[in-house]
Structure 1
């Protein structure tokens, strides 16, 4: 074959484009990638003794190794960046390849060729493959340079949504990977898991300018990754090099160029949201600098970004207005110290703390200020050691601090009072609308040690250990002196409430709920893993791994709470290079992935919590013609001159519903936890195909099946424990499975078992309508999908990427959040509160997005002008229509998948809840409409000196200002009511964001 042939292919093959589904077998949860390849020659003798040298273009650092007997070589654990490769024999260069890009979490695969019978220097004799035929993972790589060409919102979630198989997380934000809930993912920055330890729908974030490269893992990832049943976002930040560089940028999203939000009306035509009067102005700017402190040895990168975000929202017929302001700044930096070519030390620090002040106005008058703080400081230290040519070690220590503080100027003196009566014009009628006062800090301290050992030409062993200590400090309470929230409802005589039948004593009743939590809660998680990447033949690679996890939690008093160990996760992957040319592969993957609960459950069930609900008649409650209460409340003046309301409580209705007691904060709560509790896990199976059509075009397909099992939930159990002391009503275990408790029975400790699949409520208990034991089904979630991808890489003129995903997510359990309610506290969801919740909950789940089309691309009109587009079309999500009550239990508090159709109002003498007739409402029988969004961008670049340039961009998001409904009020009845129709049923509650225009300028020199 001629030398020109190889030169042609080397030049035609661009480096560092998106890798569709392929990642590399060397991918770690760290900030590096690798280069592997082969040197070929017509003569075996020319291969023997060849050494390969790689040089980092940015830092000038280099490494050299010798090829094996077959001409193979591999450089693991390389910092992300661009490298030049040189092959040398007997002091003479025999092959080379320039500008090979190393992406995070992947190996770049190269092929070098020695020409002729004599050793000679050849300038370019190599190619880079876009398909890693040794990989069995499913992932998507994209770098900062490519993202700068596209009209993409400046957030990690927006990047992840480019990948096939990803969707928005729905009600609770975040992302859904492969049908998972938004609480099951992990986000890594330079090897550190920065996901919130308590509420994992959020994570530490840095400005886009700070990022260098992204990898989105959507399935089949290797054994070093665990503690997630969703997906992984693996990102790295920028580094300095031998050249001093400075960048200044600014991004402005003015309200004057935004599309107007639509006004929203209730079913009676009354305006409830004045969207057209809402305003948002967003401005950020950043200054960054990088360069050498000691040339070829010590480098720095630093960034500072101030921001100003101002938002005005108007609701309730223009009566209420909020004005929010965030003017905090981000700072961050990175040091890279190449102690020698074989030892690298990195240090990263950044702060993403945000302080937001929101002023609230009622009918034009100032009412209160809400103070909110999120984020905190993050620190990462990485060490990489190339101990020998075949043994590499990576060590990482990191710490994440995430604050979640919320308070109000009136929080201590104002009760929150909410009017849910049919005539009431607004919900909040007191002097505060704050949900809870909160001073919450979540910390994660991580330590990792990873090894990579090339034992033989055929076996690459990877093994390691990681440990995380997750700490949650809780201090939360409802506002007001007594930490009590009051909710007012219409009272219908004859209707049942809290085990009693309502009388005509009052037209209204009050739910008075006292709630507060304080304490320190800790979870220790650790894991070890072992993986063998076995080159079975020249065209077949097997990735065989196993991971062992455990986690141990302690309650508020430092006592044990819940421990789960022996979580063994087998992983198996096969990849076949079909033609042996590195251009077509078929791959398969099977694995188990465990989901240890975040700190959310222990922070609410591990002591230190009191939650008491009482129901009362409202004494002397009277409303005027406009629905405002004129009596029924005691009024007091706050120090700020506000009027605080306290409902006048009449007779109590039923007994108090109490969970927890602050006095038991230091007591061991583990007696309420199943001794043999099993961790939640997901089994996953993938079959895929990828091929290069030509030098620029690639296509791929992937089929996936997932099944999630073994939910851990707090469960409401009504059972007679015989001679044993009752452990209480609220217990923690696996719904639908056997629960084992260590109870005191007649003075001795005994192991007692209860099959909750058969008995969660005793048949003779008053809460059973059937007279028979009622058990809970086993929670599960299933997901099946097919992804199709077409990818045309950037060649300095244009690029194009398209994907189509067919997917189906079904079962009776969404995962770590519940989108049917406002509950995003994993393990503390409603699924275990009443067996009927799961009995009637089968069907299409909230993240069932059946069809998704994604397209993005860019085109260089000239060397200076670029245009780009990003388009997404998704079919509508299911609507889970619900009513209050069910045919199995007397619990008429939770919304479930039934609606009362007979005997729904007041009960006559001799009647009970068992006389009510319910109609089943299958989950997901109705769906929202399709959503479409087109984003367009254009940019102009100009050079104004040596190594100096400027780029000016205009991006328009949601060009056609589509504001389709994303969520509706799906409750047929009002809360705590079996018979009262919900007047807001069917109204949209969440919508697409309106059109916005982003203006930006970037200067580099």
Structure 2
């Protein structure tokens, strides 16, 4: 399949790649978290930089044109010797800082070996000559700004174009623009944390209240929303680039505790209505410690953080029923109608570094994450029907950096293992209490239906080299190889789910749904040993003292054997070729979904050019025009690809039972027998029937990608003696080839809908003996035009205050009513849906401020305002039920939240500090919502009075959080 839109010319890219490889002698670079220092100095001289806290030292020769460059520097404070003297500067994560030493004032060089116990403050160097649309999150912001959870990604919310959210279940999401959370990637110490199986972008962040990394181990990070360079892979949205903390030449440690309890939070609107406030509690605590093993040579750092939650949930009975109308066992389990659900997390991180002279640097890091929680509870779902979820992750990475006069090699080897494992809290039959129709739920109890185990594990080898011996150029290229085994177990409805009509019988069901293995095809488990390979080359070319060009291209390839080697079962092939989908007007070519085991190939057309520029109007780094155009490839989530095998081998079955009020006939109609309460009896029945749903992947699936275009201006303006950064950007982003699942069934004449109708789809039609064919296709698209504005006065130790304003205007759209799992079953093709408003707030404003008040008190604040996101609904308010169609609306409620924090430190001697802190989240207790009543009403009915009314709260309500800490 040929990509549409921004299509690179492969011959030119190949020439560019070959040219750079010749000029650079196989150069490379992938230190996405490391900083680069460059500038002008005395020709023929030598520049030496030394980290004042660790003793790490690097040298570089100054070229004949007076230019120098020193890449691969961990963020921190450095003494720079050379040129006309010495300077002390602070470099941020991933920064490319320009420092001209030939004109720097001469200052005495401090003796770094005698700095123990002395705080060295370096001058922060602003990065303006970059094409990236990027914002830095500083250690001071992480330390001081109000925060309800120690998820370090929450601070990315203050970046234009980004949105961090927490739903009523406490699950967190970070999104970039109009794309889903899966489009981002987080790079920690240069290693991508991509989730290859599940949504969320980062391993462990799908349906989790937990944190991806201990915040105490994060030094700082930056968020690149656009124009990231070719070293960044496996994303089509934002790149979050974080650097972890390291041990220094001083022993330093910190312990903390923070928490909140029921009396310290306001009741939600729904708790106020019920008159019952659920017991809740949140606690977070941890310790971090680091120091020297051998001074100036080797160091260590350790961090541990834990989180325990008891979060409130409320039962809301369906169909207007009251508790007194429920059966006695339901009443007993309902209790007060308000419950809490527990969550526990443990996070561990360790780091060792070793400098061998000035040429070699070794670094070993490890991370372990363990979570357990109860989910799937609330609303009509009682606690016995809940899910017990285990979420675990382990990562280990070894890095060797080798530096010479004009090049640096960075080699890594890593191992990762991450699994998400929900299973029913009770293994018993599920009991759904219905009102008439089996789908009209009043409440449910008994064994739940969520039973999965999905994850990834494997090895990574990465090698990168930077060559800066070509005047005016920093040439980079690199490769990455990963052998990743992706595993899924998907046995949903392992517990049969029985439905009972409260108007008829509480012991004889009217309907049952269950899962069962398919004879000869497996049991819902899928394993695929995937191989990933990536190459890139990049040239950061300082054409002159005003113009910088960033020219790069990368190519990525992934082989997925479970998809490419799959053979469609013979009975499915026969049914496909005999189905109504083969008729001329069906719009389906069934041969596109029949795999022989040899007619599918991995997508190898993933060439991604990335071109950026910055133009410094006065060559003083204060007024810079920047922009760029590029393509970036993400990847297909294995959770989507695996359905072809998993659903094909663990079928989903349903039967109706013939009762007085619910008579039925046909092959899926049964006379009730108590033997059916035995799951094995049901599964034997399913094996005999052979009727099941079938998922089929298109034989030519490709990788989703985005094309990005931006132009902007960055200014440094001095106001009141302080430098302010003002950055404005116009952005256009299009994403293509996202996977969606469409219904392949067709009616007797090959049509999807009956003539003159728009509903219902042809479920269970035209695909005998199977029920439904579900077709996976590359069809999803989004488009977003944005204006991004950032105004920042950085916090400095001299001014003792800082502010940041981030405003985003976004006009976005998408070609489907999908928000979440990509089922698109209500139209024959994706084009039949038309375009809908996209999942990005039209207006979003986030402002933050930090102020060092008298008496050693640090005050901080954060204000967030955003218009509501669109909600996609089915409109059946027509003259007939057969005219239902999808539309969208935007709730009138805005998102508003104002947070405050105050921190006071008490000194005990020269090193020990005691911290007392108070955070007040959502000070004005503004009500924000994460769910609404989306039912508009039926045919020939007036618009439902409850349509568009909120039914789920977005956390937090007004909450007081107290914190204690001790550092030394």
Query: TM-score scaled by structure 2?
Result: 0.77
Q: Residues 249 and 296 of structure 2 are in contact (CA less than 8 Å); yes or no, is this contact kept in structure 1? A: yes
Unaligned runs of 5+ in 2: 1-26, 112-120, 205-211, 317-322, 324-333, 517-522, 567-596, 664-670, 753-760, 769-774
Q: Residues 306 and 330 of structure 1 are in contact (CA less than 8 Å); yes or no, is this contact kept in structure 2? A: yes
Q: Residues 840 and 922 of structure 1 are in contact (CA less than 8 Å); yes or no, is this contact kept in structure 2? A: no
Q: Choose 310-319 or 582-591, whichever is displaced more.
A: 310-319
CA 1:29/1:281 → structure 2, altered by over 3 Å: closer, same or farther?
farther
Shift of 1:188: 1.9
Q: Residues 816 and 833 of structure 2 are in contact (CA less than 8 Å); yes or no, is this contact kept in structure 1? A: no
Structure 2 residue matching 1:711: 3-state secondary structure: strand
Q: How many angstroms apart in 2 are the aligned matches of 1:678 and 1:424?
A: 37
Which residue is 1:614 aligned to?
654
Report Cα offsets for 1:384-437 as digits up to 9, x if no partner: 111x222111122222222212234522x32353636579995443422x2312
Pairwise mapping of residues 628-667 of structure 1 onto structure 2 (< 5 A)?
A: 658-660=692-694
Q: Does 1:1004 align with 2:967?
A: yes
Which residue is 1:668 aligned to?
none
Q: How many angstroms apart in 2 are the aligned matches of 1:804 and 1:364?
A: 39
Q: How many angstroms apart in 1 are the aligned matches of 2:929 and 2:725?
A: 36
Shift of 1:368: 7.3
User: Which structure has more helix as a fraction of its residues?
Assistant: 2
Q: Residues 416 and 479 of structure 1 are in contact (CA less than 8 Å); yes or no, is this contact kept in structure 2? A: no
Which has the higher relative contact order, 1 or 2, with Cα contacts under 8 A spaced 6 or more apart? Answer: 2
Q: Does 1:986 align with 2:959?
A: no
Q: Choose 186-195 or 54-63, whichever is displaced more.
A: 186-195
CA 1:455/1:842 → structure 2, altered by over 3 Å: closer, same or farther?
same
CA 1:366/1:155 → structure 2, altered by over 3 Å: closer, same or farther?
closer
Which residue is 2:807 aligned to?
804
Shift of 1:249: 1.2
Q: Residues 160 and 166 of structure 1 are in contact (CA less than 8 Å); yes or no, is this contact kept in structure 2? A: yes
Which residue is 1:447 aligned to?
461
Q: How many angstroms apart in 1 are the aligned matches of 2:152 and 2:540?
A: 31
Q: Does 1:332 align with 2:349?
A: yes
Structure 2 residue matching 1:158: 3-state secondary structure: helix
Equivalent residue in structure 1 for 2:848, among 856, 861, 866: 856
Q: How many angstroms apart in 2 are the aligned matches of 1:572 and 1:363?
A: 52
Which residue is 1:62 aligned to?
57
Q: How many angstroms apart in 2 are the aligned matches of 1:721 and 1:426?
A: 33
Structure 2 residue matching 1:901: 3-state secondary structure: coil
CA 1:260/1:800 → structure 2, altered by over 3 Å: closer, same or farther?
same
Q: Residues 31 and 72 of structure 2 are in contact (CA less than 8 Å); yes or no, is this contact kept in structure 1? A: no
Equivalent residue in structure 2 for 1:830, among 823, 834, 845: 823
Equivalent residue in structure 2 for 1:874, among 860, 866, 869: 866
Structure 2 residue matching 1:332: 3-state secondary structure: strand
Q: Does 1:786 align with 2:787?
A: yes
Pairwise mapping of residues 564-643 of structure 1 onto structure 2 (< 5 A)?
A: 564-607=603-646, 609-617=649-657, 619-620=659-660
Q: How many angstroms apart in 2 are the aligned matches of 1:225 and 1:107?
A: 16
Q: Residues 128 and 714 of structure 2 are in contact (CA less than 8 Å); yes or no, is this contact kept in structure 1? A: no
Q: Residues 562 and 673 of structure 1 are in contact (CA less than 8 Å); yes or no, is this contact kept in structure 2? A: no
Equivalent residue in structure 1 for 2:434, among 416, 419, 433: 419
Which residue is 1:37 aligned to?
39
Structure 2 residue matching 1:164: 3-state secondary structure: coil
Which residue is 1:755 aligned to?
none
Report Cα offsets for 1:958-994 as digits up to 9, x if no partner: 11111133331323368xx999998964342332321
Equivalent residue in structure 2 for 1:156, among 148, 152, 162: 152
Q: How many angstroms apart in 2 are the aligned matches of 1:785 and 1:363?
A: 40
Which residue is 1:142 aligned to?
137
CA 1:973/1:526 → structure 2, altered by over 3 Å: closer, same or farther?
farther
Q: How many angstroms apart in 2 are the aligned matches of 1:588 and 1:359?
A: 45
Which residue is 2:178 aligned to?
179
Which residue is 1:843 aligned to?
836
Equivalent residue in structure 1 for 2:218, among 189, 204, 211: 211
Q: Residues 87 and 95 of structure 1 are in contact (CA less than 8 Å); yes or no, is this contact kept in structure 2? A: yes
Q: Residues 129 and 583 of structure 1 are in contact (CA less than 8 Å); yes or no, is this contact kept in structure 2? A: no
Report Cα offsets for 1:505-545 as digits up to 9, x if no partner: xx996363536621213432221111111222221111111
Which residue is 1:305 aligned to?
305
CA 1:882/1:168 → structure 2, altered by over 3 Å: closer, same or farther?
farther
Q: Residues 442 and 471 of structure 1 are in contact (CA less than 8 Å); yes or no, is this contact kept in structure 2? A: yes
Q: How many angstroms apart in 1 are the aligned matches of 2:610 and 2:644?
A: 34
Q: Residues 897 and 922 of structure 2 are in contact (CA less than 8 Å); yes or no, is this contact kept in structure 1? A: yes
Q: How many angstroms apart in 1 are the aligned matches of 2:275 and 2:181?
A: 27
Unaligned runs of 5+ in 1: 1-24, 40-46, 89-93, 266-270, 492-506, 624-631, 638-642, 662-671, 723-727, 731-759, 768-773, 884-898, 905-915
CA 1:398/1:120 → structure 2, altered by over 3 Å: closer, same or farther?
closer
Q: How many angstroms apart in 2 are the aligned matches of 1:460 and 1:729?
A: 59
Please, what is the CA RMSD of the aligned residues?
4.4
Equivalent residue in structure 1 for 2:101, among 112, 115, 130: 112
Which residue is 2:709 aligned to?
685
Which residue is 1:431 aligned to?
446
Which residue is 1:494 aligned to?
none
Shift of 1:788: 1.3
Structure 2 residue matching 1:353: 3-state secondary structure: strand
Q: How many angstroms apart in 1 are the aligned matches of 2:55 and 2:942?
A: 73
Structure 1 residue matching 2:420: 3-state secondary structure: strand
Q: Does 1:86 align with 2:46?
A: no
Q: How many angstroms apart in 2 are the aligned matches of 1:444 and 1:293?
A: 31
Q: How many angstroms apart in 2 are the aligned matches of 1:27 and 1:121?
A: 34
Query: TM-score scaled by structure 1?
Result: 0.75
Q: How many angstroms apart in 2 are the aligned matches of 1:997 and 1:647?
A: 54
Shift of 1:459: 2.2
Which residue is 2:879 aligned to?
902
Q: Residues 803 and 849 of structure 2 are in contact (CA less than 8 Å); yes or no, is this contact kept in structure 1? A: yes
Report Cα offsets for 1:454-497 as digits up to 9, x if no partner: 241122211111123333322232345xx543456899xxxxxx
CA 1:195/1:420 → structure 2, altered by over 3 Å: closer, same or farther?
farther
Pairwise mapping of residues 309-320 of structure 1 onto structure 2 (< 5 A)?
A: 309-316=309-316, 319=335, 320=337
CA 1:457/1:406 → structure 2, altered by over 3 Å: closer, same or farther?
same
Shift of 1:636: 9.1
Q: How many angstroms apart in 2 are the aligned matches of 1:965 and 1:367?
A: 26
Pairwise mapping of residues 770-781 of structure 1 onto structure 2 (< 5 A)?
A: 779-781=780-782
Report Cα offsets for 1:642-690 as digits up to 9, x if no partner: x9999999x99xx9862349xxxxxxxxxx6544443322111010100
Equivalent residue in structure 1 for 2:236, among 213, 229, 232: 229
Which residue is 1:910 aligned to?
none
Report Cα offsets for 1:260-307 as digits up to 9, x if no partner: 112279xxxxx7xx5842232111221222111122211111122344
Equivalent residue in structure 2 for 1:538, among 537, 540, 545: 545
Which residue is 1:705 aligned to?
732
Report Cα offsets for 1:584-619 as digits up to 9, x if no partner: 100110001112202112222245633334352552
Structure 2 residue matching 1:457: 3-state secondary structure: coil
Structure 2 residue matching 1:279: 3-state secondary structure: coil
Which residue is 1:892 aligned to?
none
Structure 2 residue matching 1:605: 3-state secondary structure: helix
Structure 2 residue matching 1:600: 3-state secondary structure: helix
Structure 1 residue matching 2:296: 3-state secondary structure: coil
Which residue is 2:579 aligned to?
none
CA 1:852/1:980 → structure 2, altered by over 3 Å: closer, same or farther?
closer
Q: How many angstroms apart in 2 are the aligned matches of 1:980 and 1:554?
A: 53
